[in-house]
Chain A
Amino acid sequence: MNAKAIVVTSGKGGVGKTTTTANVGAALAKLGEKVAVIDTDVGLRNLDVVMGLEGRVVYDLIDVFEGRCKLKQALIRDKRVENLYLVAASQTKDKSALSESRMQDTVKELLGEEGFDRVLIDSPAGIESGFQTAASAADGALVVVNPEVSSVRDADRIIGLLEARGVHEVKLIINRLRPAMVKRGDMLEVDDVLEILGIKLIGIVPEDEKILVSTNIGNPASLEDSSKLGAGTAFRTIARRIRGEDVPYPVLEASGGGLFGALRRLLGGN
C-alpha cells in the first residue's frame, strides 16, 4: 500500500479491529518500519491492554490534542519490538474531545518530524465522530469484516463513507474465517464476501484460539505464533502485503470445499 496513514475500521464492533491493529502494527515494525499505532476509541481504550502496554501509559491522545503534553511524551515504546510505538486513547474523556484537525496535525507530525514510516489508526466502532476523526487523518484503510450478516452490511456502509471522505486505498481483511463451516456451506466464503463488497482483499485470517491466549497475556500473536495456517502468520502476511510484497494465499482447507477453490482462484491459477 502506498498509504502511510492507515485507518483500521469495520463499522460493527467486536470483529477484530484492535487485534488487527496490534498484530499488523507489530509485524510491520518487526519488518523494519518505524510504526505508530493510535487508539482513537476515546472512553473505551483497549489497544494498550491488547499490546500489553497498559502499565506504561502516562499521557494519551487527548492530552496531546489539548496541549497538556508534547506528542513525543505520549509515544509509548513497545517492550518487545524496536520502532513500535503506541499512542493511547483517553479513558476518562468522551468523544467530544476528538478533533479532526488535531488528528490530522498529529499524524502529519508523526510522519514528518518524528520520522515514522507508517501510522495505524485504530478506529472505534460506529460511524459517528470517533470513526470520522480516525478516518480524517488517513489516506488508506483496512476494513475488517467477519463473514456474517451484520458485519458485512456494516462494512459496506463503512466502505461508502470512506470513499465519500476520499480515502483512496481501501483494502479488506476477512477475519475469523472458519474453514470447516465454509466447507459445509454455512459460512460465506472469501469470493462471496469480495463479490458483495466489491473491494480488494489484503488478508484472510482464520478463527484461532491462540489470538485469545495472546491477548490474555498482552503479546501480539504475529510476534510469536509461527504455525503456518494460524492467525499470527496471517497477520504477518498482511504486513508484508502492505509493504508491497506479493504473498500467495495459503490453502486453509486441504480437501474439497468452496474455500479451496476460492483460494486457488485468488492465487490466480487452476
Chain B
Amino acid sequence: MFGMFGRKRSKDQLKERLKLVLSYDRAGLTPGKMEELKAELMAVIGKYFPAKDTDYDVRLEQQGDRMVFVANLPMSAEGR
C-alpha cells in the first residue's frame, strides 16, 4: 500500500476511484441520484426503524459479472 517514502501509491488511489466511478457508469446512475435514493430509502425505513444517517450503508457493488445494489439497513432498537 505504501511506497518506499511512506506515501500512498498513486495507482492505488486511481484503482479505487476507477472502481467507484465505473460502478456508477455501469449502473447508469450518478452519485447524486444515489444520495437521493439513500435519502428516500431512509425516510421510508426510518418510519419503522429510526436510525442515524450514518448507520445506513447504501452502495453499488460489482459481484462477478453483475452490478448489485447493496443496502445495509440496521434495525436499530433506538426510539422504540
Contact = CB atoms under 8 A, between A and B. Distances in A.
A160 B65 CA distance: 12
A208 to B, nearest CB: 21
A152 interface: yes
A153 B22 contact: yes
Contacts of B15: 188, 192, 196
B11 A187 contact: yes
Contacts of A156: 22, 25-26
Nearest to A147: B11
B52 interface: no
Contacts of B72: none
Contacts of A187: 11
A199 B20 CA distance: 18
B70 interface: no
Given A148-B14, A149-B14, 16 more contacts: A153-B22, A156-B22, A156-B26, A184-B3, A184-B9, A185-B3, A185-B9, A185-B11, A186-B9, A186-B10, A186-B11, A187-B11, A188-B11, A188-B15, A196-B15, A196-B19
Interface of B: 3, 9-12, 14-15, 17-19, 21-22, 25-26, 65
Those 5 A-B pairs whose CB atoms lie nearest each other, nearest first: A185-B9, A186-B10, A185-B3, A188-B11, A156-B22
